[in-house]
Structure 1
Amino acid sequence: MTTHETYDVVILGSGPAGLQAGIHAARKNVRTLMLGRMDNSSLYWAHIENYCCQFKVSGEEVLNTGREQVEAFGGEFRDEDVLSIDPEGSLFSIRLESGDTVLSKTVILATGSSRNKLGVPGEKELLGKGVSYCVDCDAGFYRGQIVAVAGSRSAAAGGAVALTRFASEVHLYCDKLDVADGLRRQLDETGVVLHEGVQITEIRGETGVDAVALDDTTTRAVSGVFIELGAKGVLELTATLGVTLDESMKYIDTDKKQRTNIPGIFAAGDICGPPLQMAKAVGEGCVAGIEAANYAKKLTHGS
């Protein structure tokens, strides 16, 4: 595993909140790194009609322009997802899907709030009874049991690797695995059984999950199904940090400076709650970028 030089500000998420934070942080002349895949943002696939001074423009175009702005001010990008964030002294250690680790004085969480559903029979009915969207939250309930993971990106693969520390067997189902080589090697090394090209079509059970039906007409007996469709979400990334969530356990609580309850951790955009609109995300990203940069400077030079 490679540890890179320390950054002042690391931003998780390349949507409108993350990009605006990146613009303002980079303009304050602090070393800024943006992480995440732009097409993970819900805005990437949208068309914009209700944002001031932009009318009938594609989300992809807006995000690409934002990336150009961040880079023009000296910000850096790595188009990969984050697997974990952990305190390391006065810094934060951020592990990437490639196997690399970066250190940062501050972190801005701007990953959005969507939790993609598998959309199969039994998913809703068995939620909390064997169906989970958070490996870090629920893995410990499946010691010595057989579990299934659904998803093709880093959250699914990283979750499957983590589950091998608890479950007796871990089966990962996906259309086509789309992760960095380092994470794919971890799947092999930890014994995850990869079923590429096979999808879960139904989750079965009465009082709890007992099997999944697959689109190759077979079934597999499992005790749990972890649905991880996309990048790591708010629950997973904050599980080891102690970041306070709201009563719904969906959104992060912040103050007017976009600070969380953990010094050095900021949040912006949909991850902070509704309205889930680009205008709100950009405004919060602006504040978070400025405040995180100021915080990093104080750590460097003293208050």
Structure 2
Amino acid sequence: MEPKKIFDVVILGCGPAGIQAAIHASRKKASVLLLGRLNKSSLFWAHVENFMGMFKTSGEAMLTTGLAQAKSFGAETLEEDALRISQTGRCLEIETESGNVLCARALVVATGTTRNRLGVPGEKELLGRGVSYCVDCDGGFFRGEDVAVVGGQSAAAGGALTLLSMARSVHLVAESLDVSPVLKAKLAQSGVVLHEGVKPVAVQGEGKVSGLALSDGQTLAVSGVFIELGAKGVLELASSLGLTLDESMKYIDTDKRQATSVPGVFAAGDICGPPLQMAKAVGEGCVAGSNAAMYAKNMKLAQEGPDEEQPQAQ
């Protein structure tokens, strides 16, 4: 197997927090990889008029300029989501959509929050009774059963593939499938039953899930419905890495350095909680990126010994 590439800092999320973290980490001479797509950030579709120094501009323009800045300082980019993250020895191993496996000395989680729910009848009523928002957390409860995953991005596709090893049958319901060609090929070659071009209209069941009604009139006889919209969310990341969440169980708990409960893992932006504003995300990205680079440098020194002193950018 080809050796995994090791980065000082890998950043999950291509929004304002992630890009700012990439800028600051790169300026400290760290090797940086930024994972994600600009158009998956909520800022991409917004207009900004409450950020210092800006009267009014588009979020797309700000993100595009910010990404160019990060690249100018040496950051590398990969337009993919992380599917799996695990701690292996003193390195964090990250598997992306296309099957790339990378290693990071430090990780910055800046994926934002998934604010969307399906909003269909039965979803709220059957939450915890067959409806789940986390395959990694709850998939094991559905061994030998028939399940459905709802979503058209990497979290849903990856979740469906994960469930194949547990459930009797797995349906993937996607109004539009937007994943990498490699991940799409994996789905096509797997036993996942894809329902593309339709959407759920109701979760059915009395006391527990018994079916998922679709917009084409079909009803899937399933006992579990996993709603996985977007990229990997906070619950999945917390489950795989052991991150501590706040009392609401919606956001990652961090200290003033933007450090999480797991050494080498930092977080910034909306995933750390309100106010869900760009100004806060940028500030936290600055702190997280700087401290992640410092952590990676110290780890590298401990592992490899001192190297020639590098001048540090301010």
Query: Normalising by the residue count of structure 1, what TM-score does the alignment of the two structures yield?
Result: 0.97
Structure 2 unmatched ranges of 5 or more: 307-314
Distance in 2, matches of 1:207 and 1:134, equals 20
Identity between Structure 1 and Structure 2 (%): 60
Whichever residue aligns with residue 163 of structure 1, its letter is: L
Closer, same or farther: CA 210–277 of 1 in aligned 2, 3 Å: same
Q: 1:175-217, CA deviations, whole angstroms, 9 ceiling, x for partnerless residues? A: 2212112212322343111111222111111201111111111
Q: 1:129-179, CA deviations, whole angstroms, 9 ceiling, x for partnerless residues? A: 111111001101111111111111110000000111111000001122121
Q: CA deviation at 1:2?
A: 5.8
Distance in 1, matches of 2:140 and 2:239, equals 13
Q: CA deviation at 1:234?
A: 1.0
Q: 1:220-253, CA deviations, whole angstroms, 9 ceiling, x for partnerless residues? A: 2110111111111111122121111111111111
Distance in 2, matches of 1:268 and 1:220, equals 39
Distance in 2, matches of 1:292 and 1:261, equals 14
Task: Kindly indicate whether the alpha-carbon contact (under 8 Å) linking 1:116 and 1:230 is maintained by their aligned counterparts in 2.
Answer: no
1:132-211 alignment, distance < 5 Å: 132-211=132-211
Distance in 1, matches of 2:114 and 2:188, equals 29
Distance in 1, matches of 2:241 and 2:3, equals 20
Q: 1:15 and 2:15 equivalent?
A: yes
Distance in 2, matches of 1:140 and 1:22, equals 36
Aligned-partner SS, 2:241: coil
Aligned-partner SS, 2:170: strand
Query: Normalising by the residue count of structure 2, what TM-score does the alignment of the two structures yield?
Result: 0.93
Closer, same or farther: CA 179–3 of 1 in aligned 2, 3 Å: farther
Q: 1:234 and 2:234 equivalent?
A: yes
Per the alignment, residue 95 of structure 2 pairs with 95
Count of aligned positions:
303
Per the alignment, residue 66 of structure 1 pairs with 66
Task: Kindly indicate whether the alpha-carbon contact (under 8 Å) linking 2:114 and 2:229 is maintained by their aligned counterparts in 1.
Answer: no
Per the alignment, residue 221 of structure 1 pairs with 221
Per the alignment, residue 77 of structure 1 pairs with 77
Structure 1 unmatched ranges of 5 or more: none
CA RMSD of aligned residues (A): 1.3
Whichever residue aligns with residue 242 of structure 2, its letter is: G
Q: CA deviation at 1:3?
A: 5.2
Whichever residue aligns with residue 238 of structure 2, its letter is: T
Closer, same or farther: CA 2–99 of 1 in aligned 2, 3 Å: farther
Distance in 2, matches of 1:63 and 1:113, equals 17
